[in-house]
Structure 1
Amino acid sequence: MLGVGNTLKFNLFYRCFIFVWLAVKFISQIYLFHLRHRIWDQRTRIKWNSLLERQAKEYREKAVRLGGVLIKVGQFMSTRADFMPEVFIKELSGLVDKVPPMSFDYAKNLLEQEWGTELDTHLQSIETSSVASASIGEVYQAELHDGSSVAIKVQRYRVDDIFHMDFKALKLVFRVISLFTSFGKKADLNALYNELIQVMDKELDFEQELAYGAYFRDRYAENNSIHIPAYYERLCTKRVLVMEWIDGAKVTDFTYLNEHNISPELLAKRLFDFYLDQFMNHGYFHADPHAGNILVQQDGTISIIDFGMVSDVRKQDTLYFKKIIQGLIVNDYDTIIETMDEMNFILPNADRKKLKKMIRKTIEIYESGSFRNMDSQAMDQLKEDLRVFINEQPIQVSADYAYLGRAASIILGILVHLYPEIDIEKMAKPKIKQFFGGKNLTDSIYKEIVKDTAKPILSYPRAMLNWLENGEKDRQWEKEQQHTHLMHHFFLLLEGVNVLLIFAGFVAFAYFTFHSLPLIGGTILGIFLVSLALILRKHYKFIKLRK
């Protein structure tokens, strides 16, 4: 029988409560911290990082226990260095579908149910211990009667129900974020929510994953350095996938690479070519390229597994990319701004002149190679200018490119880890030339295209790279106007929480009244009502005092 904890795991109200409570708790803690710490010195930053680390650990523990969307969102956040703090990213970076394994008895029953026959009809043997345990599926190694070694992916118990409950809970969380945070006012959260749901919902359909696997196998059939596993379609269903077993290790397993004399530089180049082709040309791209999904075989062949998370680059997107690159080449910043507008990167009330000036300044620094000679004081000033600019301007990462940015950031991290001396410029030149149509299009501009397209990345000192990858904006709440704005939103947040509590109080009142204990229910409801009245009174005094 399921225990109380496991029973609650499948309860919509409980999951919604955990989602919303985590969001409200974290936002409240952040508001309170900024209210209490007006001066941001070294001691304050240490306390700030400690708070974020505690929050990240609590989130990770909840995600591992409840599974579902919490894990997927945690994975997504762990790669969003554009707005997530570094300490949060470090804590969640290991959250790659870490969930407790399920019972083999359940897997066996599901397989027999999906196949309509006993296991030994199709399988000669199967390992009872799973080789991978994910939020959506469990993977087992088995052998068919013809001797073929296969990986069998079985969908977890009621995972479809869990995810669709979490989709509703996530909607509430996005509502809280939109009401009580500055990020919610800058970003198009509805579009981001829809993008997340669309991609995660596809992961629940193994028949869709089968179709994606076939697509990539056909697309890269001529690429001898990349291997896409074959699927046994006759054994695949909506909840079961059977594919070729791949003997190998994670692409970042240096012990394995050394044992088989595999060059990390060569692997990095192959990965770069494989993913850049997906990112720059229209079609589907592998949206979950973490090291566990990229295996290397003994002969150095790279195998890509798990096509549950896939998104697409539209033909229009490739035109946007070309316009931005061309704008950078000829210093046409108006075209860059217009293209960013078309891509929904800039919200309507952004200061486009200021944005153009910042882009021009950054490009000039790139071209001059000033990053190499910049002292710490100049670096700090540039950091502060960028921080203020990002804080003030309504710029967003469009939801349409959320998974593309996530995949690109993961791959960049793997490439640098795999081969720190990677020469992006050298590898990018032929790809950029091909992207612009070869000789017919690039004869007149190719020299300018390759001049410094990738060199700025290589010219950053390591400290600058660390900062650019650090999503923490180090915002300082020093002005009285900011403090007033913060207090106002804090009161709104407390009032919102109390409204939720009052709703819970009504539920408690009805529950205890039904069990002939109206006094207890009335007391709980009364406490919440009085609490809301006190907060409203204090909020009113605060507003009146500052008129």
Structure 2
Amino acid sequence: MAVLRAYRRFAVVLWQFLPLIVAYLRDRRKYLLFGGRRRVSSEMRVRRAQRLLDSLLTLGPTFIKLGQLLSTRPDILPPEYVDVLEGLQDQVPPADWEAAREVLEADVGDVNEAFDEFDADAISGASLGQVYTAEIDGDPVAVKVRRPGIEALVEADLRVIRWALPLVERFVGQARAFSLDNLADEFAKTIREEMDYGREAEMLAEIRGNFAENDRIAIPRVYDDYSTERVLTMAYVPGTKISNVEELDRRGVDRHAVAETLERAYLQMIIEDGVFHADPHPGNLAVQDDGTIVFYDFGMSGRADEFVQRKIVDFYIAVANQDIEAILDTLIELGTLSPDADRATMAEVMELAIRDARGESIETYRVQQIVGKVEDTIYDFPLRLPANLALVLRVATVVEGVCVTLDPDFDFVSVATDYLGETGYREEGARQFVEETGEEFARAAQSAVRVPPKLERALDRIDRDDLYVRADIEDSNDVIDRLGKRIVLGLLLAVSVLSTSYLYADAHLRAAAVTAGLAAVSAFYLYRSFRKRKRLQATPQFTRQNLRERRNK
């Protein structure tokens, strides 16, 4: 039954994405079977990204989550698609209360007995669950219930994605195919983790413990006796939505202080704690009247290992010092930038990013713009992004956007630099630089001793006419390969024309027709080689209209 449902779902998904598939095939070969590649403009990519967004909304919860994950992967999608999909927030109409009640009572017990009060109208809906308010022993709580029947739908959709992957990989480069394969594994792991409210409770408790001494951060506590893998009950902590700057001003909240607190909180989570809340869009952040920031929804959370933490520190220090070479070295070590990339070109990109992003003062530039430039380049030079690193990059840009919403003049890098200095990371980086410089001097001294004998041996071989040099030709653009094909096609065309003329003159019309056909085919492919290369309907489960209606409530 599960496999049959997956087959039906595959047909629906294929039909939904068919227009985009045909458009992509036409880009590669204008009329599918013949013709040159079609040039795709940025405006065309934006229109297709909007169509992709509509398709994801139509296909429902699993594909909404897939779209959110794709928005963190500039190594797979062009920048225009990433920009459009970034607006795909996890807000969908809640499921029917009676269906949700069955899940709640199967896990926690009778609603009227387990809770003092329970409001059956959900306060928020998400693709995998919905949240209700209730009371336990007089204390207000928020009860998160997994969407009824979501498990079977997700498993069917994961099968569909796995089946579709080999088809998609046939039309993309090898590096991007590898990224897609990794993305499928990452997505399956991520969405199953998000459906496991037991894991979310553990991550929430761990992060809450890390901020136990910080009175500027509020994280709801979990009611373990009322929580399971499908139900999560937490303390209800109200606050003003962090992007509602008018209401924050009316309540007298210092928005700059809130922005600084938010950035410092994420720096602590990523650099020091190694476990972080990974979905910081405004719907998951609130502010209390005293400036305390409240975090909601820990379903999407991640961990950063020591290597990633250390390299992120190196990146921030390099950005603060405007050390382009150090920035590139850090990106290569992280795997974000290919070692084969043209360093001179990338250095120009980074210099341009910093020049565009900064103002008159040296440190008035923003990490989001720098990362954005790098992400644009990542698509042009496809490579693999580690899953947690992609999540960290996404968190950094979203947090910076929230901070700028709170304070348009907020200097992200300045605050990060101060934080690194206060926590001793910058001094540690300076000590490491001194140690590395000392090691470089030691290696240079050793080389000074080893080079003269080697140089003398080389000169002796030159004197004996015994020195050979091997040169490898780098042909990354396949120029030699195309030239060889043109020579072969040209020779084949010449021979075919001569053969056709001879056979026709000798009255061998059938053989002449065969060689004429061979000449025509050769001429067609030779002509094409010189052309300049240019770069079942589903019922919508959710639409942009009902998303907008929910956001405006």
TM-score w.r.t. the length of structure 2 is 0.67
Contact in 1 for aligned 2:79/2:375 (Cα 8 Å): no
Contact in 1 for aligned 2:242/2:286 (Cα 8 Å): yes
- Of 96, 104, 113, which residue of structure 2 is paired with 1:103? 96
Please give the alpha-carbon distance, in whole angstroms, between the structure 1 residues aligned to 2:284 and 2:432. 41
- Of 310, 335, 348, which residue of structure 2 is paired with 1:361? 348
- Of 253, 256, 260, which residue of structure 1 is paired with 2:251? 260
State the shift of 1:326 in Å.
6.6
- Of 235, 240, 246, which residue of structure 2 is paired with 1:249? 240
Please name the residue that 1:429 is paired with: 417
What CA deviation, in whole Å up to 9, does each residue of 1:70-123 have, x standing for no partner? 0111223345566645664565444322333212112222222212x4222221
Contact in 1 for aligned 2:286/2:295 (Cα 8 Å): yes
Please give the alpha-carbon distance, in whole angstroms, between the structure 2 residues aligned to 1:297 and 1:370. 32
- Of 11, 16, 36, which residue of structure 2 is paired with 1:17? 11
- Of 152, 156, 166, which residue of structure 1 is paired with 2:147? 156
Structure 1 stretch displaced more, 257-266 or 220-229: 257-266
Report the 3-state secondary structure (helix = DSSP H, G, I; strand = E; otherwise coil) of the residue aligned with 1:141. strand
Structure 1 stretch displaced more, 415-424 or 266-275: 415-424
Please give the alpha-carbon distance, in whole angstroms, between the structure 2 residues aligned to 1:194 and 1:155. 22
State the shift of 1:252 in Å.
0.4
Report the 3-state secondary structure (helix = DSSP H, G, I; strand = E; otherwise coil) of the residue aligned with 1:221. coil
1:399 and 2:387 equivalent? yes
Structure 1 stretch displaced more, 122-131 or 177-186: 177-186
Equivalent residue letter for 1:358: T
Equivalent residue letter for 1:418: L
Equivalent residue letter for 1:246: V
Contact in 2 for aligned 1:281/1:313 (Cα 8 Å): no
Report the 3-state secondary structure (helix = DSSP H, G, I; strand = E; otherwise coil) of the residue aligned with 1:59. helix
What CA deviation, in whole Å up to 9, does each residue of 1:402-450 have, x standing for no partner? 222222222122122222110223312222224654656647979xxxx
Please give the alpha-carbon distance, in whole angstroms, between the structure 2 residues aligned to 1:310 and 1:39. 41
Please name the residue that 1:285 is paired with: 276
Q: Which has the bigger relative contact order, CA under 8 A and spacing at least 6?
A: 2
Please name the residue that 1:524 is paired with: none
Contact in 1 for aligned 2:274/2:303 (Cα 8 Å): yes
Equivalent residue letter for 1:236: S
State the shift of 1:543 in Å.
6.3
Please name the residue that 1:509 is paired with: none
Structure 1 stretch displaced more, 216-225 or 17-26: 17-26
Please give the alpha-carbon distance, in whole angstroms, between the structure 2 residues aligned to 1:20 and 1:49. 21
1:420 and 2:383 equivalent? no
**Alignment coverage as a number of residue pairs:** 429
State the shift of 1:29 in Å.
1.0
Please give the alpha-carbon distance, in whole angstroms, between the structure 1 residues aligned to 2:3 and 2:286. 33
Please name the residue that 2:118 is paired with: 126
State the shift of 1:370 in Å.
10
Alignment CA distance shift 1:25-1:16 (3 Å): same
Contact in 2 for aligned 1:235/1:241 (Cα 8 Å): yes
Alignment CA distance shift 1:409-1:392 (3 Å): closer
Contact in 2 for aligned 1:282/1:318 (Cα 8 Å): no
Alignment CA distance shift 1:211-1:129 (3 Å): same
1:82-101 paired onto structure 2 within 5 Å: 84=77, 88-89=81-82, 91-101=84-94
Alignment CA distance shift 1:418-1:324 (3 Å): closer
- Of 223, 226, 238, which residue of structure 2 is paired with 1:235? 226
Please give the alpha-carbon distance, in whole angstroms, between the structure 1 residues aligned to 2:392 and 2:404. 18
- Of 47, 50, 54, which residue of structure 2 is paired with 1:50? 47
1:55-454 paired onto structure 2 within 5 Å: 55-60=52-57, 62-63=58-59, 66-67=60-61, 69-80=62-73, 84=77, 88-89=81-82, 91-115=84-108, 117-144=109-136, 146-182=137-173, 185=176, 187-324=178-315, 333=325, 340-346=331-337, 351-352=340-341, 354=342, 356-364=343-351, 393-434=381-422, 436-437=424-425, 439=427, 442=430
Report the 3-state secondary structure (helix = DSSP H, G, I; strand = E; otherwise coil) of the residue aligned with 1:180. coil
Q: CA RMSD in A?
A: 4.0
Gaps of 5+ in 2: 31-35, 361-372, 435-476, 483-520, 530-553
Report the 3-state secondary structure (helix = DSSP H, G, I; strand = E; otherwise coil) of the residue aligned with 1:106. helix
Structure 1 stretch displaced more, 212-221 or 121-130: 121-130
Please give the alpha-carbon distance, in whole angstroms, between the structure 1 residues aligned to 2:43 and 2:235. 49
Contact in 2 for aligned 1:98/1:133 (Cα 8 Å): yes
Equivalent residue letter for 1:357: A
Equivalent residue letter for 1:11: R
State the shift of 1:399 in Å.
3.1
Equivalent residue letter for 1:118: D
Please give the alpha-carbon distance, in whole angstroms, between the structure 2 residues aligned to 1:231 and 1:316. 31
Contact in 2 for aligned 1:281/1:315 (Cα 8 Å): no
Please give the alpha-carbon distance, in whole angstroms, between the structure 1 residues aligned to 2:355 and 2:122. 54
Contact in 1 for aligned 2:71/2:82 (Cα 8 Å): yes
State the shift of 1:310 in Å.
1.1
Contact in 1 for aligned 2:94/2:129 (Cα 8 Å): no
Report the 3-state secondary structure (helix = DSSP H, G, I; strand = E; otherwise coil) of the residue aligned with 1:188. helix
Report the 3-state secondary structure (helix = DSSP H, G, I; strand = E; otherwise coil) of the residue aligned with 2:138. coil
Work out the percentage of aligned pairs sharing the same amino acid. 24
Report the 3-state secondary structure (helix = DSSP H, G, I; strand = E; otherwise coil) of the residue aligned with 2:170. helix
Contact in 1 for aligned 2:145/2:232 (Cα 8 Å): yes
Gaps of 5+ in 1: 1-6, 374-384, 447-478, 485-538
Please give the alpha-carbon distance, in whole angstroms, between the structure 1 residues aligned to 2:3 and 2:397. 32
Contact in 2 for aligned 1:282/1:314 (Cα 8 Å): no
Alignment CA distance shift 1:281-1:390 (3 Å): same
Structure with the greater alpha carbon radius of gyration = 2
- Of 14, 22, 41, which residue of structure 2 is paired with 1:28? 22
